[in-house]
């Protein structure tokens, strides 16, 4: 449930116990969600995890399931939400 809820609000969750164990406080990491690669910039160590499928990446990039659905409705039918959006 946590994983699905996280995606629904646009928060990507990666599972990589090895990265958690080896990362120290203050380490900076880069994350490539599409490739499933985590890089520790201090050590240069690269960790691999499962990449997200394309449709999940679309939801994350849209900011979550609600913005993704709104965007799809607008694209498919010319529907324009009457809801007030934070960025408008």
CATH number, domain containing residue 7: 3.20.19.10
Q: Give the chain's mean pLDDT.
A: 90
**62 touches 68 (CB < 8 A):** yes
Q: Does residue 48 lie in a domain region?
A: yes
Q: What is the mean pLDDT of residues 55-65?
A: 95
Q: Does residue 88 lie in a domain region?
A: no
Q: Does residue 52 lie in a domain region?
A: yes
pTM of the model: 0.73
Q: Does residue 35 lie in a domain region?
A: yes
Structural domain boundaries, residue 65: 2-77
Q: Does residue 87 lie in a domain region?
A: no
Number of domains in the chain: 1
> Does 82 have pLDDT greater than 80?
no
Q: Does residue 82 lie in a domain region?
A: no
- Lowest pLDDT segment from 4-8, 29-33, 76-80: 76-80
Cα gap 73→65, rounded to integer Å: 12
């Amino acid at each position: 449930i946590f994983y699905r809820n996280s995606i629904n609000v646009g928060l990507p969750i990666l599972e990589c116990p090895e990265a958690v164990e080896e990362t120290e406080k203050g380490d900076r990491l880069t994350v490539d969600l599409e490739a499933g690669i985590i890089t520790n910039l201090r050590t240069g160590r690269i960790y691999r995890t499962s990449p997200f499928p394309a449709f999940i990446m679309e939801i994350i990039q849209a900011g979550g399931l609600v913005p993704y659905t709104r965007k799809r409705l607008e694209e498919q039918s010319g529907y324009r939400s009457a809801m007030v959006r934070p960025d408008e």
